[in-house]
Structure 1
Amino acid sequence: MTAERQCPKCGQIIPWGQVECPLCTERTSYFWSLRRDTFLLLTLLVLLLLFVATGFATKFYHAQEKVIAEQWFARGEAELRAGQASAAVEDFRNALAYSRDNAKYRLELDKALLAAGRLQEAHARLLALWEQEPGNGVLNLELARLAVRQSSVPEALRYYHNAIYGEWEKDPVEQRHAARLELAQFLLRSGQKAAAQSELIGLAADLPPDSGLETQVGSLLLASGENDQALKLFLEALRLNPGQEAALFSAGEAYYNLGNYSAAAHYLRRALEGDPHSTRAQTLAGTARLILSVNPSEPRLSRQERAKRTFRAFQQAMARLLNCAASRGINLQAGQESRRLQSLYAQAMDVQPDVQIPALGEDSDLRATVMDLAFDIENATAQECGQPQGLDLALLLLGRAQGGGRP
C-alpha cells in the first residue's frame, strides 16, 4: 500500500495520483492571475499616460510653430508696408516654413514677390494657387495686377473680370466695387475710354449711398468724357454731403464741359469758398464768368446790352484774326479765298460797316450773323494758331456750346 504524502508547504495530504498539492496549486494560480491582471492594468495606465503626454507635447509643439509663424508673418507685413519687399519675401518664407499650408501666408509671399519685382516667380506661384481656386477673388485680382505690370491687356481684363465676379471671404460687395474701380482706372490709363465708361456706368448703378465713392466714380467718368453720368453722381454726392469740396468742384467742371456756364460758375464759386487756392477752380470759374459776361443770349438783357456784347465779341474776334495771321505770315488781303482765314477776313470786311451798336440793338438777325462770324473766326484761329486764352477762349467755348447761337 502506497504511503500518503503530505504537502511540505501546507501539511495537507496530497491525493493519490496527483503530483502537487491541489490547495497550494490553486492558491498559486489565483495569485498569479491576480498579479497578471494588475500588471496589465498598470501597463495600460502607463501607456495612456504616455499617449496623453505625447498629445500635449505635440499640441505644444504645433502651438509654438503657430506662434513663430505668426511672428514671421507680422514681421513680413511690417517690412512690406515699409517698402522693404525683399526682406518681406524672406519673412513670409520663414512663416511658411512653420505653416506650410497657410493660404494667407502664401498669398502674401506672392504679393511681396510682386513688390520686389520678381514677376516670373510671383506669376508661377499665383498660377499654382489659382489652379486650386480659380474663383478666388483675391487671387484673380493679384493676377490682374501682375498682367498690368507685364503690359498684358487681355490677361488683365480677364483676371479683373474674374475678380469682379469671383468669391470674396470678407466684404464681397466692397471688394468687387474696388476691383471694378481699379479696372476702370487701368482702362483709362490704356486710353480705352469707351470700355472704361462701360465699367464705370455699371459700377455707378450699384453704388451704395456714399458721397466719397460717388465722387470718385464720377471723377473717373468725367475723365472718360462721360459728363452727363458724372454730373448725376456729383449731384447725388452733394445731396448726401452738401459741403463736399471735391464734389462741388467736379460738378462745376461737369457743367463747364456741358456748356452750362451759369451752373458751372455757381458750383465753382462754392468750391472756391472751401478751397480758395485751387488753381484749376480759379481758371474754370474765371472763364465761365467771362463767357457769361460776353454772351448776348443771356436772359433778361436789354437790347442795348445785347448789342454791346455782340460788338465786343466782333472786335475781339477781329483782333484775334489779325494777330493769328501776322504770326503765321498770312496776308489777309491777298485775295486767296482758298485760305480759311482770308475767307473769314473778307466776310468780316463785308459786314463791318453794319457792326454798330444802334444797328445791332435793332436787328436780331444782324446780331446772329455777327456772332456766328465771331465764333467761326475763333474756331479757325484756334486750329491755325492754337488754343486761345482769356476772352478769345470764352468766345470759342461759347460758340461750341451754342453751335453759332442766336442772341
Structure 2
Amino acid sequence: MAHYTGSVETHKLTRRELLLHDALAFFVLTLITVALFVMTLLLFRSFTNHRSEQARSWTAKGQMALNAGHAEDAVKDFRTALTFAPGASVNELLLAQSLAAAGPKHTDEAYNAFLELWDVHPGDGLINLQLARIAARRKDPTAAVRYYRAAIDGRWDENGAVHRREGRLELARYLIAQHDEPAAREELLVVRGNWPRDPAVQREVNDLLAKAGAGQ
C-alpha cells in the first residue's frame, strides 16, 4: 500500500514537472516570438525611414537641377526618387515637368506622363496647361485648344484668377499662330473685360488684338 502511494506521488511530481517544463518552454517561445516581432518592426521602420530619406534627398536634388535649367539631370533624379517612394504624386508631377522641359526627344514621354496624371486629376489647371503646351509642340491644335480651355476652367491651388488670365492670353497667342484670329479676339476681349484697370494687361491685350487684326 505504501509502495502504491509512493508511485502515485512520484507520478504526480513527474506530471507537475512536465507541466512546469511545458509552461516554461511556452513562455520562452513567446519571449522569442515577441523579440523577433520587435526586431522585425524596428528593421522595417529603419528600412522605411531610410527609403523616405533617400526619396527626399533625390527630390531636393531634382528640384535644384530643374530650377537651374538642367532638365535631363532632373529627370534622372526624380526617377531615382520614385524608386524609393513609388507613386509619390509630387515626384510624378515633377518628373513630368522635367520631361517636358528636357526637349523634343522627351515630348511623347512627357505627354504620356501628364496624361497619367490627368486621369487622376482631370480638373487640375496646371496639368491641363502642360498638356496644352505639349499638344501644341506635337502639332495637334485640336487637343491643344481643348487642354488650354480646360486649364482656364480648371482648379488652381493659388492665384487662380491670374493663372486663368495668363492661360487665356497664351491661348490667344496660340490661336493667332494658328491663323484663327476670330477665336483669338474672343479670348482677348474676355481678358480686357475682366482686367479693365490693369494698364499692363490692357497694353498686352491691345498688342495681341493688333496682331489678330482687330482695332483697339
What residue ranges of structure 2 are gaps of 5+ in the alignment?
none
- Deviation (angstroms), 1:32: 2.0
What residue ranges of structure 1 are gaps of 5+ in the alignment?
7-13, 227-256, 259-407
Q: Secondary structure at the match of 2:76?
A: helix
Give the aligned partner of residue 149 of structure 1. Answer: 137
Give the aligned partner of residue 40 of structure 2. Answer: 54
Instruction: Determine if the alignment matches structure 1 residue 137 to structure 2 residue 125.
Output: yes
Task: Summarize the alignment of residues 177-196 of structure 1 with structure 2, pairs less than 5 Å apart.
Answer: 177-196=165-184
> What letter matches 1:158 in structure 2?
R
- Deviation (angstroms), 1:158: 0.5
Instruction: Determine if the alignment matches structure 1 residue 224 to structure 2 residue 208.
Output: yes
Task: Summarize the alignment of residues 4-403 of structure 1 with structure 2, pairs less than 5 Å apart.
Answer: 4=1, 6=3, 14-15=4-5, 21-117=7-103, 118-168=106-156, 170-171=157-158, 173-174=160-161, 175-203=163-191, 214-225=198-209
Q: Aligned partners of 2:135, 2:56: CA distance in 1, in Å?
A: 30
- Deviation (angstroms), 1:177: 4.0
Q: Aligned partners of 2:31, 2:194: CA distance in 1, in Å?
A: 66
Larger Rg: 1
Q: Aligned partners of 2:123, 2:107: CA distance in 1, in Å?
A: 22
- Deviation (angstroms), 1:172: 6.5
> Which gives a bigger RCO, structure 1 or 2 (Cα 8 Å, sep 6+)?
2
Q: Aligned partners of 2:182, 2:204: CA distance in 1, in Å?
A: 12
Q: Secondary structure at the match of 1:100?
A: coil
- Deviation (angstroms), 1:144: 0.7
- Deviation (angstroms), 1:43: 1.8
> What letter matches 2:53 in structure 1?
V
Q: TM-score, normalised by structure 2?
A: 0.81
- Deviation (angstroms), 1:188: 4.2
Q: Provide the aligned length of Structure 1 versus Structure 2.
A: 209
- Deviation (angstroms), 1:180: 3.0
Larger helix percent: 2
Q: Aligned partners of 2:40, 2:199: CA distance in 1, in Å?
A: 61
Whether contact under 8 Å (1:137, 1:162) holds in the other structure is yes
Distance 1:185 1:177, change over 3 A: same
The alignment's C-alpha RMSD in Å is: 2.8
Distance 1:43 1:181, change over 3 A: farther
